[in-house]
Amino acid sequence: MATEPDQLDADAKARRGFLLALGAYLLWGLLPFYMKAVAHLPLIEVISHRIVWSVPIAACVLVWAGRTADFKAAIRSPKSIAMAALTATLISVNWGIYVWAIAVDRTVETALGYYINPLVVVVVGAVLLGERLDRLQ
């Protein structure tokens, strides 16, 4: 049975998680307005800014979370570097399509794609990879 301080700590963590998720969804919901405001800029410039500004922000998050040792271990592994390069390429393509779609007034289609994507991933996992889902999932 959980003690009262443990329950308060769990409640605080749950509240913090909820607020962080809410903040992320609010920022994601407002992002199309920002993308529309910068639609006059070349696509490569918008993506380049995202890449350049992501590096110091990610570094700050790693330091804040105390995960710099994990980062150091990852950059020593050629397999991790290759996976990071592939991931970065896929994210850049995804982000480029998103920025382009907002610029050409395809916001609704883009939002629908982001909504449907997790559903498609689950179906692919179940059909191609044989993953089993329980009733709740």
Q: In this predicted model, what pLDDT tens digit does every residue of 103-114 receive, in sequence order?
A: 898 988 988 888
With cut-offs at 50, 70 and 90, classify the pLDDT of residue 2: low
Q: What is the pLDDT of residue 28?
A: 81
Are 99 and 114 part of one and the same domain? no
Are 69 and 79 part of one and the same domain? yes
> Backbone phi, then psi, for 76, in 5-degree steps?
-90, -10
Q: How far apart are CA 43 and CA 101, in angstroms?
A: 11
Indicate the length of the chain as a whole number. 137
Task: Give the mean model confidence (pLDDT) for residues 57-80.
Answer: 91
Are 32 and 48 part of one and the same domain? no
Are 46 and 71 part of one and the same domain? yes
Q: 10 CB contacts (<8 Å, ≥6 apart)?
A: 2
Six-digit token pair at 113? 């794609």
Are 2 and 50 part of one and the same domain? no
Q: What is the pLDDT of residue 5?
A: 66
Are 17 and 67 part of one and the same domain? no
Q: What is the pLDDT of residue 1?
A: 54
Q: How far apart are CA 100 and CA 38, in angstroms?
A: 11
Distances (CA, A) of 1 to 7, 10, 11: 10, 13, 15
Residue 129 has pLDDT above 90, yes or no: no
Q: What is the pLDDT of residue 82?
A: 95
Residue 79 has pLDDT above 60, yes or no: yes
Are 81 and 93 part of one and the same domain? yes
Q: How far apart are CA 80 and CA 83, in angstroms?
A: 5
Q: What is the pLDDT of residue 78?
A: 93
Are 66 and 96 part of one and the same domain? yes
Are 66 and 110 part of one and the same domain? no
Number of domains, the chain: 3
pLDDT tens-place string over residues 5-64? 677 688 888 888 889 889 988 888 888 888 888 888 998 998 899 889 998 999 999 999
Are 96 and 112 part of one and the same domain? no
Are 91 and 73 part of one and the same domain? yes
Q: Which of 54, 40, 35 is nearest to 92 (CA)?
A: 54
Are 77 and 114 part of one and the same domain? no
Per the structure, the complete domain to which residue 1 belongs is given by 1-37
